[in-house]
Amino acid sequence: MGDFWVFGYGSLIWRPGFAHVETRRARLHGYRRSLCVYSFVHRGTRERPGLVLGLDRGGSCIGLAFRVPGDLRNEVITYLRERELVTNVYLERMLSIRLDNDDKGKGETDGGETVSAVAYVVDRAHEQYAGALDAANAATVVRGAVGQSGKNEDYVLSTLEHLEALGIRDHWLEEVAKRIGS
């Protein structure tokens, strides 16, 4: 099998945790980044859930695509499933993404190559699906939640910092972060 791509839109951007040989900015159409998953493990508990990001239907999402050597396929897929499918709130999918076009300069995601990538989208039928929360309600859920991987606020702020460092704007997430601090 040849090389394959993994699409990261949240913590995979700043902590992929798997070997890869190339990282490219990419756009996924038909899904958006959203704090739409109640976290019972990593950033909250069943008694005091937090919120983590999921890919939810609608819009588009700019993230990072990681090219993984084909000989690492089984190892990387196993790692991703252990990380992303802890409670099965995500569905593993192969989705078309558009890679940035290196010839057009930094930040261009139009006109680049289209490839299939492994991505994890939220299962809207799962009990952990939080739906489309407004920024105020999302901030209320995030504030004070803690799970095995740490404080929920740290997750949101770290994701936002890494998006900003890449020149990726997420106005809704920025509003949630602002409300977390208030």
* Residue 125 lies inside a defined structural domain of this protein: yes
Tell me the β-bridge partners of 95.
117
pLDDT at 156: 96
pLDDT at 102: 62
Structural domain count, the chain: 1
Span 46-59, mean pLDDT? Answer: 96
Query: What pLDDT digit, counting tens, does each position of 135-155 carry?
Result: 999 999 999 999 999 999 999
Residue range of the domain that includes 150: 4-176
* Residue 84 lies inside a defined structural domain of this protein: yes
Span 4-32, mean pLDDT? Answer: 96
pTM of the predicted model as reported, rounded to 2 decimal places: 0.89
Read off the pLDDT band of 104 (50, 70, 90). very low
Distance CA 51, CA 143 (A): 10
Q: What is the CATH number of the domain that holds 101?
A: 3.10.490.10
Tokens found for residue 174: 């920025």
Span 103-116, mean pLDDT? Answer: 65
* Residue 182 lies inside a defined structural domain of this protein: no
Distance CA 43, CA 36 (A): 13
Instruction: Please list the alpha-helical segments (H only) found in 31-165.
Output: 73-84, 135-142, 152-165
> What's the chain's average pLDDT?
93
Report the candidate in 66, 82, 54, 62 with the shortest Cα–Cα distance to residue 19.
66
pLDDT at 108: 46
